Chain A
Amino acid sequence: MDIQLQNLRKTYGSAVAVADMSAKIPQGRMLALLGPSGCGKTTTLRMVAGFIAPTSGSIRVGATDITTLPAHKRDTGLVFQSYALFPHLSAAENIAFGLRRRGVARAEREQRVTAMLDKLKLSGLADRLPRQLSGGQQQRVAVARALVINPSILLLDEPFSNLDAKLRESTGLEMSRLQREFGLTSIFVTHDQTEAMSIADTIAVMKDGELQQIGSASEIYERPANRFVADFIGRANFLAGRILRREGQDAVAELAAGLEMRLLDPGAAALPGAQGEALLRPEAIALADHASPGSFKATVEQISYQGAIANLHARLADGSAIVASVPPEDARGLAPGKLVGLAPKPAALIWFAKS
């Protein structure tokens, strides 16, 4: 079933936790609520789960308005950051908990629990107590417990943040596979942009309770709506500058680092004389000779080798820092103190007017 949040708002006294959040998640899709801590993403999720009553706005699942429905009638599968496994119940009993509450008969209950244990590779661990399981196994029990009740929506509250980096990626992909297999509409809260980009269909970036941008991973990365989104998603260089002139839809800007650059469709506000910043992603920079036209003169400060790429930390003529991600072979022979040219790839700059 699809989920629709309409002008969802939560305030505590004068403090706004979530401000007019609207989003629509089509059947079977996953929305990631992404943002730094305190941005209102968890509050939003808990309003959908029914633990927090919204100040105003509505939540619909399918054709039903569930805004005032109590949590236990909402039919949601929820995976908590802390997993919230019942410490006094075994893995199998944890998974059976929701079925018992629904009055599922013993035979069917056992059969569904066993099937779920198998599906999440927990077969030998049915009788273990949560404290006898590893972090990854606890996480899988929490997922099994949420899925076994065949919920109409699935809510995930930072479900991977307590796993180590390697496990996090494989678990994330597994989660996404299960979510598609069960055809569950889901909302997924995270502060980790890589996680959001790898498993969600749509990402909602939030800050201070306000929705900043909602769109697919590539839309948000390639066409960030504002400087916050650009900075939060991926690595970003911001180059201060000023619009020189308009050329139809486009404009030409003069950057403080000493280069005139063409901006594609910077918006109507980018009038000659306007101050602002241009976003330049590290991977949209190529190494060039320091004297070549169309490139910034920069002094290398540090080179960090990452395997697939090398990150070149350098300083521009106006004193601002810049990072360029280049193929490692291009960075070979460079050393701190060396003068290089950094050439932005064509159409790589995105303009943000100074607010």
Chain B
Amino acid sequence: MTKPETKGGGARWALFAPALLFAPCAFVYAVFFIWPQASLLAISATDAAGLTLAHYQRFAGDSYYWEILGRTLGLGAAVTAITLVLGVPTAYLLARVQSRWAGFLLLLTTFPLLVSAVVRSFGWMVLFFRDGLLSHGLMALGFADKPVQTMYTMAGVIIALAQVLLPLMILTLHGVFKSIDRDLEYAAMSLGARPIVALGLVTLRLASGGIVAGSLLVFSLAISAFATPSLVGGARANVMATAIYEQAIELLDWPFAAALATILLVTVLALSLAYGALLEGRGEREAAR
């Protein structure tokens, strides 16, 4: 008679166990992410009189802020493009190379991640100053006839941020390429595809989901990056993150800072969803073909 009871207890436990295991994480997530974000949204849409869209109207009506949003998205696109161009071949080679150095090389690419973005950005500052290595190098090679200032330019921010985020792109893509069976490329070649065609039709096609995921990761991190733009870019390369900092910490305009943060968040979400939908749509079209 006791047996069914213990069994029932076990079944009940089995039912609740996943919820219990999930609870601590859900709790932390709710208290430290969802609640602050909701508060932020609330702050951005209220003033002394109650609900208002005034802060958003201020953003919409001021071309200065549109410019900052545009510059931020441009920065994200440029950094994503650079990390893709540099990251795809590197990750592919690291995933395919048979050498016993492969693991070490991968570790080497992740080393920069162990150093804070602030330190790495300082490194770029040393190179970028009018008197820095880059300027001297370009002059010595004859590409420039007078000192080049890369500090406090968008170009400098893009280069530095691409370097900061490249390891993340490589790590993401490495995992993706590693999971694609090399025999698929061989199969394509044995069926008459030139190696480059096999790479495109099979490997890159199968990696496209991962490439999109890596791009989204780099893009979101790039447009919300703060340390690199503020150190390398300064006031002349104002982006959303630095503008939010300025409003919240220097001008103490919390509601407007919250509105800017919300706009940035919504932009990232919208782009991610659009990207995802694009990918899904393509998948379905191919299945139906």
Which A residues lie at the B interface, using CB under 8 A?
Answer: 49-51, 70-78, 80, 82, 84-90, 93, 97-98, 101-102, 129, 145-146, 149, 155
In the complex, the answer to whether B287 meets A71 with C-beta atoms within 8 Å is no
List chain A residues, Cβ under 8 A from B159.
Answer: none
B192 & A50 in contact (Cβ 8 Å cutoff): no
Of A77, A84, A101, the residue contacting B197 (CB under 8 A) is A101
Contact (Cβ within 8 A) A72 B192: yes
CB distance from B59 to the nearest CB of A (A): 42
When A and B form their complex, which 10 residue pairs have the shortest distance between CB atoms, in order from nearest?
A98-B191, A101-B192, A84-B183, A84-B187, A78-B190, A71-B189, A72-B189, A80-B183, A101-B193, A84-B184
Measured CB to CB, the closest approach of chain B to A290, in angstroms, equals 55
Determine whether the beta carbon of A72 is less than 8 Å from that of B205: no
> Residue-by-residue, is B163-196 near A (CB-CB < 8 Å gives 1, otherwise 0)?
0000000000000000001011011111111110
Q: Which residues of B contact A101 (CB under 8 A)?
A: 191-193, 197
With A82-B181, A84-B184, A86-B184 as given contacts, are A76 and B190 in contact (CB-CB < 8 Å)?
yes
From A72, A75, A88, A90, B193 is in contact (CB under 8 Å) with: A72
Closest-CB distance, A144 to chain B (whole angstroms): 12
Known: A86-B202, A88-B286, A129-B287. A78 touches B192 (CB 8 A): no
Contact mask for chain B residues 229-261; partner A; CB cutoff 8 A; 1 contact, 0 none: 000000000000000000000000000000000
Contact A98 B186, CB 8 Å, known A82-B181, A88-B206, A88-B286: no
A68 → chain B closest CB, angstroms: 15
In the bound complex, what is the Cα–Cα distance between A82 and B185 (angstroms)? 13
Chain B residue nearest to A148 (CB atoms) is B191
Given A82-B181, A98-B191, A101-B192, A71:B186 Cβ within 8 A? yes
Which of B189, B202, B205 has the largest count of A CB atoms less than 10 A from its CB? Answer: B189
With a cutoff of 8 Å between Cβ atoms, the chain A residues found around residue B197 in the complex are 101
Q: In chain B, residues 198-234, which have Cβ atoms closer than 8 Å to a Cβ of chain A?
A: 198, 202, 205-206
Do B192 and A149 touch (CB < 8 A)? Answer: yes
Residues in chain A near residue B198, CB distance under 8 A = 72
> Given A72-B195, A86-B202, A129-B287, are A49 and B190 also a contact pair (CB < 8 Å)?
yes
Residues from chain B with Cβ under 8 Å of A87 in the complex? 184, 206
Given A78-B190, A101-B191; 6 other pairs, CB 8 A cutoff: A72-B190, A76-B190, A88-B286, A98-B192, A101-B193, A155-B190
Task: Select from chain B the residue with minimum beta-carbon distance to A71.
Answer: B189
Interface residue count on the B side (C-beta < 8 Å): 21
A residues near B287, Cβ cutoff 8 Å: 90, 129
Partner of A86 from B187, B189, B194, B289 at Cβ < 8 Å:
B187
* Distance of A70 Cα from B193 Cα, bound (Å): 10
Q: Which residues of B contact A75 (CB under 8 A)?
A: 192
B180 → A minimal CB distance (Å): 9
Contacts A86-B202, A88-B206, A129-B287; A80 near B187 (Cβ below 8 A):
yes
Q: Distance (Å) between the CB of A99 and the closest chain B CB? A: 9
Q: Which residue of B lies closest to A78 (CB)?
A: B190
Distance in angstroms from A12 CB to nearest chain B CB is: 9
A101 to B189, CA, bound (A): 10
Chain A residue numbers with a CB within 8 Å of B188 are 86, 97
State A93–B188 Cα separation when bound (angstroms). Answer: 12
Once the chains are docked, how many angstroms separate the CA of A101 from the CA of B195?
A: 12
Q: How far is the CB of A49 from chain B (nearest CB, A)?
A: 6
Contact A51:B192 (CB < 8 A) given known A86-B202, A88-B205: no
Tell me whether B186 and A149 are in contact (CB under 8 A): no
Query: Given contacts A88-B206, A129-B287, is CB(A72)–CB(B194) below 8 Å?
Result: yes
Smallest CB separation, A318 vs chain B (Å): 48
A86 CA / B191 CA spacing, docked (Å): 12
Q: How far is the CB of B251 from chain A (nearest CB, A)?
A: 52
What are 24 residue pairs bridging A and B, where the CB atoms are less than 8 Å apart in the complex?
A49-B190, A50-B190, A70-B194, A71-B190, A72-B194, A72-B198, A73-B192, A75-B192, A76-B190, A80-B183, A80-B187, A82-B181, A85-B187, A86-B188, A87-B206, A88-B205, A88-B206, A88-B286, A98-B192, A101-B191, A101-B193, A129-B287, A145-B191, A149-B192
Shortest Cβ gap from A100 to chain B (Å): 9
Bound form: Cα–Cα A78–B184 in Å: 11
